[in-house]
Amino acid sequence: MLPSPLAIDVRRGAIASLGSVLADRRIATEGRIAVAVGPGQGAHIAADLDLPQCEVFQVDEGTVDAATDLGKKLRSGAYEAVAGIGGGKTIDVTKFAATMAGIPMVAVATNLAHDGIASPVSSLEHEGGKPSIGVTMPIAVVIDVDYVQAAPAHLVRSGIGDV
């Protein structure tokens, strides 16, 4: 058995179809979505989403504490799914929080400078270290090539190195 995300959407303009991916793949049929955004392009992308019932949460740090805090918010909100929009820290925090809340997670990468977009692992800062913690892998991955190209040059170069 080879686990993999249910849906993978990599193309120009893919972020505009996030709502369709969630509905068509039966990930979230009622539209109760949480969106976790990072400090980079995440907030800009979240503002452009056509998800009228979504609630946006800001993720500023890649720590176990930040992930636990987000997980508590997700558990108390009765969300069908959570989308993590941003780079590696944001996606890792969101994967951990989604696992904690027991809901599916969609990874929306704004750069490719990390190898954890679809992995079942979160690397989060904790007590002076950065352990890799087992989590549920994202149910879907969305990569909008336009946003990846708009990432800072050092992240684009780093993503090429990761590949």
Find the largest Cα–Cα distance for the chain: 42
Question: What pLDDT is recorded for position 161?
Answer: 60
Alpha carbon distance 148, 132 (integer Å): 25
Give me the domains of the chain, ranges plus CATH numbers: 7-162 (3.40.50.1970)
pTM given for the model: 0.91
Question: What pLDDT is recorded for position 101?
Answer: 97
Question: What pLDDT is recorded for position 71?
Answer: 97
11 pairs with which residues across the strands?
144
Question: What pLDDT is recorded for position 50?
Answer: 79
Neighbour count for residue 5 (Cβ, 10 Å): 19
CA dihedral angle for residue 156, residue 122, residue 28, residue 144, rounded to 10 degrees: 0
Question: What pLDDT is recorded for position 139?
Answer: 96
Per-residue CA distances from 11 to 17, 19, 25, 96, 144 (Å): 10, 15, 18, 26, 5
Q: What is the pLDDT along the chain (163 residues), one digit of tens a residue?
A: 778 899 999 999 898 889 888 988 999 988 899 999 988 777 788 877 878 889 999 999 999 999 999 999 999 998 999 999 988 899 999 999 999 999 999 999 888 887 788 899 999 999 889 999 999 999 999 998 898 888 777 776 776 665 5
Question: What pLDDT is recorded for position 51?
Answer: 86
